[in-house]
Amino acid sequence: MALPTKKFPAFPRTEQIAPVEMNRVTSLYKTLFWTGNSNGQLHLLDQTQLPQHIENTICTTVEDVWNAIKVLKVRGAPAIGVAAAYGVVIGLQESRNASVDEFLREVDRIAAYLAASRPTAVNLFWALDRMKAVAWKCEAFTATEIHDRLLAEARSIELEDQTMCSAIGRHGSTLLKAGMSILTHCNAGGLATAGDGTALAVMFQAAADGKDIHVFADETRPLLQGARLTTWELQQRGIPVTLICDSMAAQVMKEGRIQIVITGADRIAANGDAANKIGTYGVAVLAQYHGIPFCVAAPSSTFDLSLPDGSGIPIEQRASEEVTCGFGTRTAPENISVYNPAFDVTPAELITAIVTERGIIRSPTTQAIREHLA
Ligand code: MRU
């Protein structure tokens, strides 16, 4: 791979509206963190501002959390789940002195509200279901006690996510050899999780193991998560990365520059069909044509075994302005008709392997997935 492999310094902080928190171990910015007790606040690294501005936004109401998820201040399937769990805690702060009946009704109301923020990433619903289950199991306690337990559950979801990311990194890095160039789409890094990410965790681990790797990042139209976020994260870690427009992937593969594709997923059906950022399906088709392995890295919370295949995965439709007027510059005529699905579904037969925190599912099938998750 003869492309330039310059190492970049960490991106400078240019503006802050609230203190950003660095992870003490890795010296990297934290995607989200909670401060205080059950009456505390959720801090999010505002991903709509990256990479120009590194600033946190503080959520003090459940509406703040809903909005942050909706407008992608926090994004990526696992991170949305963690943020929503803390959102439940925030939404219940004024109900601490309510009767248990009222409190539990409020739990359901707030969970339903947060569930309506984005439809595709199943981790959101998975986290909200966990929060509801904890609340309803605690019927014998006071509302205050249940609320404290909900904060503990949100913290557990965050910590488990970190552990899952590390495990995905360890398993997935066995797929990478020194000298490999990896293509990724969208952002499945630390910014998309509470830990080191999924697809990018694999690359971080391989680099930490001393493997000399290089990454191609699709820019990922229309919201440019690849250009804005994935390249930024890889720069921060000193991993060589080359940005390409989405439409260049075929040519770059044809030139023999890519040895493996690794992406994240927002929801994986029982048979292995995987929803991920729009454009992923096209990349998988290209990978098969060029004989390149196409792998998905995701925690077990991303599986939705209630869906036999990907046809039932709800696909989020987003505003037309994201396509016609992205980042404030109009690039299409006024009143043009736009179709803007935010995700697509890659059929399982195009997926070489799915990496989870438990290991690697090769050539995923319904049976292999069931056994893996059992
Ligand atoms: O719309 P986004 O930015 O939330 O989409 C994110 C993705 O598609 C990611 O690839 C996916 O959530 C996996 S994140 C580990």
pLDDT tops 50 at residue 220:
yes
72 CA → ligand 1 middle, Å: 10
- Alpha carbon distance 92, 62 (integer Å): 9
Q: Kindly indicate the confidence band of residue 21, based on its pLDDT and cuts at 50, 70 and 90.
A: low
191 CA → ligand 1 middle, Å: 10
Q: Which CATH architecture has domain 174-373?
A: 3-Layer(aba) Sandwich (3.40)
pLDDT tops 80 at residue 25:
no
Residue 269, both tokens: 């059906």
pLDDT tops 50 at residue 9:
no
Q: What is the 3-state secondary structure (H, E, C) of 70-123?
A: HCCCCCCHHHHHHHHHHHHHHHCHHHCCCCHHHHHHHHHHHHHHHHCCCCCCHH
Q: Where in the chain is the domain with CATH 1.20.120.420?
A: 22-164
> Does 22-164 carry CATH code 1.20.120.420?
yes
Q: What is the mean pLDDT of residues 191-216?
A: 98
- Please give the number of the atom of ligand 1 that sits closest to the Cα of 277: 8
pLDDT tops 70 at residue 27:
no
Contacts of residue 84, Cβ cutoff 8 Å, sequence gap at least 6: 65, 69, 114, 115, 117, 124, 127, 128
Q: What is the mean pLDDT of residues 89-110?
A: 97
Q: Kindly indicate the confidence band of residue 18, based on its pLDDT and cuts at 50, 70 and 90.
A: low
Does 184 contact ligand 1 (Cβ within 6 A)? no
pLDDT tens string 123-146: 999 999 999 999 999 878 999 999
Q: What is the pLDDT of residue 16?
A: 34
Residue 344 among the catalytic residues: no
| Pairing label, strands 353-356, 359-362 | antiparallel
Q: What is the pLDDT of residue 140?
A: 86
Q: What is the 3-state secondary structure (H, E, C) of 177-190?
A: CCCCEEEECCCCEH
Q: Kindly indicate the confidence band of residue 232, based on its pLDDT and cuts at 50, 70 and 90.
A: very high
Q: What is the pLDDT of residue 12?
A: 28
Catalytic residue among 218, 246, 266, 273: 266
| Pairing label, strands 260-263, 303-304 | unpaired
146 CA → ligand 1 middle, Å: 31
Pocket test for ligand 1, best of 120, 187, 219, 317 (most atoms within 8 A of CB): 187
Q: What is the pLDDT of residue 20?
A: 64
Give 6 or 86, the one with higher predicted confidence.
Answer: 86
pLDDT tens string 313-362: 999 999 999 999 999 999 999 999 999 999 999 999 999 999 999 999 99
- Alpha carbon distance 265, 186 (integer Å): 10
Does 78 contact ligand 1 (Cβ within 6 A)? yes
Q: Where in the chain is the domain with CATH 3.40.50.10470?
A: 174-373
- Alpha carbon distance 204, 198 (integer Å): 10
Q: What is the pLDDT of residue 24?
A: 45
Beta strand extents in 190-266 (DSSP E only): 214-218, 241-244, 260-263
Q: Kindly indicate the confidence band of residue 8, based on its pLDDT and cuts at 50, 70 and 90.
A: very low
User: Which is nearest to 39 in space by CA: 116, 108, 97?
Assistant: 97
The angle, 0 to 180 degrees and rounded to 10, between the axes of the packed helices 62-70 and 77-91 is: 160
- Alpha carbon distance 319, 338 (integer Å): 9
- Alpha carbon distance 314, 267 (integer Å): 9
